[in-house]
Structure 1
Amino acid sequence: MRFGPGLLVTAAFIGPGTITTASVAGANFGFALIWTLLFSVIATILLQSMAARLGVATGQDLAQALRAHIKTPYLKALATFLVISAIGVGSAAYEAGNLSGASMGLVGIFPEIGAQIWTPLIAICSALLLYSGKHKVVENALILLVILMSLVFISTLIMAAPPLSKVVAGFIPSMPSGSLTTVLALIGTTIVPYNLFLHSGVLAAQDHSKSDKDTIMKQTNLDTGLSITLGGVITLAILSTASVAFYGTDAGKISAANMAVQLEPLLGEAAHYFFAIGLFAAGLTSAITAPLAGAYAVCGMLGWKNEMSNTRFKSVAITILVFGALVASLGLDPVAVIIFAQAANGLLLPIITAYLVWLVNQKAVMGKYTNSTLLNLIILPVLLLIFSLSCYKLTGLLF
């Protein structure tokens, strides 16, 4: 067994935003919200495995499947608008944070060189990797970065040595006062809609016509489960480390940018460098996967070829990367774009997940690879939570 496309999902959702959210959760509520992380990982495995199965069974990614199976013209136009707004524009808006996070990590290691130097250098390296159009090169680079990130954050957790009894107790559901927003943020930073497009797109691009699809499905399910579980372990390590270091103290505002420095009193100078390397790896992996996800979504909805070597595909990915680099390098405020993208995401997420579940239940689409009744019963509460999360997000943006 080797890690494959599932690890791209881990690379995508473990970014500076996840590090910040997990750090805040641990600093403010200790180990009490670990159960939220467990739920999020299980829900993500279920949804991503369905998206991956769609790509293998049909040779279409989620965007292409949407375009092919929505027959009503105005509904197709609405779906195209929402996907491009939420995934394409959203990826561009969040790219600034990814690049900034990666550069903050390098500033933590090499403080004599400022972020204004690191950000464009990271953007150029990411652009060259994406423009190569070589799927295996990109995938292998991301796998190495995720392995590095895993080693860093798990090592930091071992250095922090959280009490095992408290970690285990965190798996029992509880809602400390004032924790609702953090609970929803932990779920929202793990269940990411653009990962459904990314995962299905990578697998759809592979030629499975001469392969035993039953074997491919088993390998894909194992890869998805292991990869996303690894992402959950990384997030757990960050949350637990923040809990040991900051819960019950007057640590001030915790963020991905300052957590590395604030760990020094507890774990020593080595922890600062460990966390800075992890932040760099997390920012860089997300900086590469966000343009990829945006390109799969935009090209699929517009009927363009979804191949990394295709000129249009590369142009969309590079445009997303350049926008993020400009915002990060010039200090521009992407808040308006992010709010627009979040609103579109709030509308898109329940629609896209419900449509995905509908697609993988259609024998005309999936053949013998449709969902089982048991899987549909398990996924139902996940869909209900996604709907509630989207309503909460939209309410917060509009009022």
Structure 2
Amino acid sequence: MESISTKKSFFKKILALILAFGPGIFAIGYTIGTGSVTSMIVAGSTYGMQLLWVLLLSCVFSGILMFTYGQYALVTGETALYAFKKHLKWGKTIAILIVLGVSFGQWNSLMGILGISANIIYEIFLIYFPQIQGYKYETVLIVAIVVIGIMYALLWVGKYTFFEKILVVFVTIMGLSFIISLFMVYPLPIEVAKGLIPSIPQVKGGNMMVAAFVGTTMAAATFLSRPLFVKGKGWSINNLNQQKKDAITAACLVFIISASVMAVASGALFHQGQPVTKVLDMVNTLEPVAGKFALTLFFFGTLSAGLSSIFPCLLIAPILLADYQSGELDTTSKQFKIITALACLFALIVPIFGANPIEMQILSQVFNVFVLPLVIIGIILLINNKELVGKYKASLWLNIGLITAFFFSCVISYNGIIALLDFFG
């Protein structure tokens, strides 16, 4: 009896530790979705570990921005877009552009995420029910409708702590799946070291890949929604230290999980000369190298990544709108339920038309980078305004980090424009 209660208390401690982690879990949910997994798989299988430096820089800047947005919210009690509108000269215009830009990027992602998740569930069903072979389109569409229906129903429950618990489950499964897969298939240490030296693959699509990487890892939605999630957690100015640890932990976990995905794809596929253009290509290419168990694990991780992203992507438009209007998010309001219903219908576009969700995913990640410079310059102005933040004004080191992040985002946005011109040219 004693060992059972000890086990229970051990699991309770682990769960308490994960839940104490708080708003950072939403950061991981936003950042690592099937879009991110797709980018990492495509990059790892096509370029090996060459783009690891982009991932590292994106995660460092993400951590800095998460910390800064959270700090501002706890010190002033204001959320991001509401503060932009209230305190900045062109704040209203900047805030509206950000709402439109981020919502567009996230809703595009949502289409791809739902398409990929439904395809993965179909592939899992196919293993056990081979008779559905000729009904791929119908099965994928039904699965997509059921998944988005369940997600919408969960949104009606509408409490921050409830959303957080669901995300904890998905993110934990995802993280463990990818990290365990890494122990079965891994790249050479020298390749990992070389990947930390900045270089852009000099091939068609190289620029697009770099922009997609940053668009998915330095996601503007992650920073903008942070003040609302920090407030939803019930944190105040007394939790500044906890908020800092939460931001650092989230950034580190995003790097570890994303790098694991890239490393698995690189170790298994890069040297075989088998670049992946679809997540489901992983089935045929990974199984001979890693075996069924690693493949199932990887699939489970990718599915959890998709499901953990659908939730925050549905939340983003009402979150930003509520932030702009009042700085308060009411998940029981009519506005919240209508906007999330529209997002659910929008998400079904890829499954209904049977389009390739992968291209949609990478394109939407590229669109995400264009809002980034606005999001960064806005918070630099706010966190350095002594009238607003008093003694909590940004330190020299934080300013260096924020300004470097701003220049990095401008370079990547320029890179994204070149990538899109190449793609549509």
- Alpha-carbon distance, 1:205 to partner: 3.6
Q: Structure 2 length normalisation: TM-score?
A: 0.84
- Contact 1:44/1:191, CA 8 A, preserved across alignment: yes
Amino acid at match of 1:272: L
Kindly indicate whether residue 245 of structure 2 is the aligned counterpart of residue 218 of structure 1.
Answer: no
- Name the SS for the 1:110 alignment partner: helix
Aligned partner of 2:198 in structure 1 is 173
Seen in structure 2, the aligned counterparts of structure 1 residues 163 and 333 have a Cα distance that, compared at 3 Å, is: closer
Q: Deviations for 1:195-214, whole angstroms, at most 9, x for unmatched residues?
A: 11221221134444xx5x24
Of residues 23, 31, 39, the one that matches 2:41 is: 23
Over aligned residues, Cα RMSD in angstroms?
A: 2.7
Aligned length: 392
Contact 1:7 1:224 in 2 (8 A): no
1:102 to 2:120 alignment:
no
Q: In the aligned structure 2, how far is the partner of 1:278 from the partner of 1:336?
A: 20
Cα contact 1:26–1:243 (8 A) shared by 2: yes
> What residue number does 1:351 align with?
374
* Pairing partner for 1:3 from 21, 24, 28: 21
Contact 2:208/2:416 (<8 A) preserved: no
2: CA distance, partners of 1:374 / 1:305: 31
**SS of structure 2 residue aligned to 1:263:** helix
| TM superposition shift of 1:340 | 11
Matched, 1:191 2:214: no
Greater Cα shift, 270-279 or 83-92: 83-92
Give the C-alpha shift of residue 182 in structure 1: 2.5
In structure 2, distance between residues paired with 1:294 and 1:259: 32
Contact 2:63-2:251 within 8 A present in 1 as well: yes
Q: What CA distance in whole angstroms lies between the structure 1 residues aligned with 2:50 and 2:275?
A: 20
Deviations 1:115-166 (A, max 9, x none): 1221111101111111211111111100111000001011111111333343
Does the 8 Å contact 2:173/2:304 carry over to 1? yes
Q: After TM superposition, list the pairs within 5 Å mapping 1:132-281 onto structure 2.
A: 132-178=157-203, 179-208=206-235, 211=236, 213-214=237-238, 216-281=239-304
Identity %: 26
Give the secondary structure class of the aligned counterpart of 1:173: coil
Query: Contact 1:91/1:320 (CA < 8 Å) preserved in 2?
Result: no
CA offsets, 1:328-386, max 9 Å, x none? Answer: 34447999999997897554321121111111111222233221111111222221010
Query: CA offsets per residue over residues 47-81 of structure 1, 9 Å max, x none?
Result: 11111112222222212212222355xx62x3344
The 1-side partners of 2:35 and 2:82 are apart by 29
Q: Using the TM superposition, name which of 136-145 and 290-299 deviates more.
A: 290-299
Aligned to 1:66: 84
Q: Which amino acid aligns with 1:4?
A: G
Q: Retained in 2: the 8 A contact 1:92–1:321?
A: no
Match of 1:79 among 85, 90, 94: 94
Residue segments in structure 2 that go unaligned for 5+ positions in a row = 1-16, 133-138
Look up the match of 2:75: 57
Q: Report the residue type matching 1:100 in the other structure.
A: G
* Corresponding residue of 1:115: 140
Kindly indicate whether the alpha-carbon contact (under 8 Å) linking 1:58 and 1:204 is maintained by their aligned counterparts in 2. no
1:90 matched residue in structure 2? 105
Per the normalisation by structure 1, the TM-score is 0.89
Q: Assess if the C-alpha contact under 8 Å between 2:34 and 2:302 holds in 1.
A: yes
Of residues 186-195 and 167-176 in structure 1, the stretch that sits farther from structure 2 once superposed is 167-176
State the SS of the aligned residue for 2:371.
Answer: helix
Amino acid at match of 2:153: L
> Which of 318, 323, 327 lines up with 2:346 in the alignment?
323
